[in-house]
């Protein structure tokens, strides 16, 4: 399993960003073909201050896919592109760092 992780720093207007994120962006992400699960968590505390510089974390989003190939196919879908365009519209692109990680089964 592979997950695509998005770390969002705290926006200037938290309420407006959250409203847009949860009512418009997340529903678009959830339509992505091949997406097994999307999980979103609000950051309540950072245990290593300064690790990420001066940025205060706000949201961690994880999108789970069966494989790297399934994730790559999802990234080419119109649904994924619509979610990306929406993220730009709501100002999230300036707030996010994204990466893929392979889940380790032990």
**For residue 25, what is the domain's CATH number?**
3.30.70.100
| pLDDT tens series, the chain, 106 aa | 999 999 999 999 999 999 999 999 999 999 999 999 999 999 988 776 666 666 789 999 999 999 999 999 999 999 999 999 999 999 999 999 999 999 998 8
> Whole-prediction pTM value?
0.89
CA atoms within 13 A of residue 47's CA, in its CB half-sphere: 0
What pLDDT does 50 receive?
Answer: 67
What is the DSSP pairing of strand 2-9 with strand 35-42? unpaired
CA 11 to chain CA mean position, Å: 14
Say how many domains are in the chain: 1
Measured CA to CA, the distance from residue 101 to residue 94 in angstroms comes to: 22
The domain containing residue 7 runs over which residues?
2-102
């Amino acid at each position: 399993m592979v997950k695509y992780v998005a770390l969002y720093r705290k926006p200037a207007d938290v309420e407006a960003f959250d409203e847009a994120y949860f009512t418009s962006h997340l529903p678009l992400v959830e339509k992505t073909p091949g997406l097994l699960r999307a999980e979103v968590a609000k950051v309540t505390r950072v245990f290593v201050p300064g690790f990420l510089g001066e940025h205060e974390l706000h949201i961690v989003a994880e999108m789970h896919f069966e494989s790297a190939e399934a994730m790559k196919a999802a990234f080419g879908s119109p649904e994924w592109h619509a979610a990306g365009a929406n993220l730009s519209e709501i100002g999230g692109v300036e707030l996010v760092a994204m990466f893929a990680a392979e889940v380790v089964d032990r």
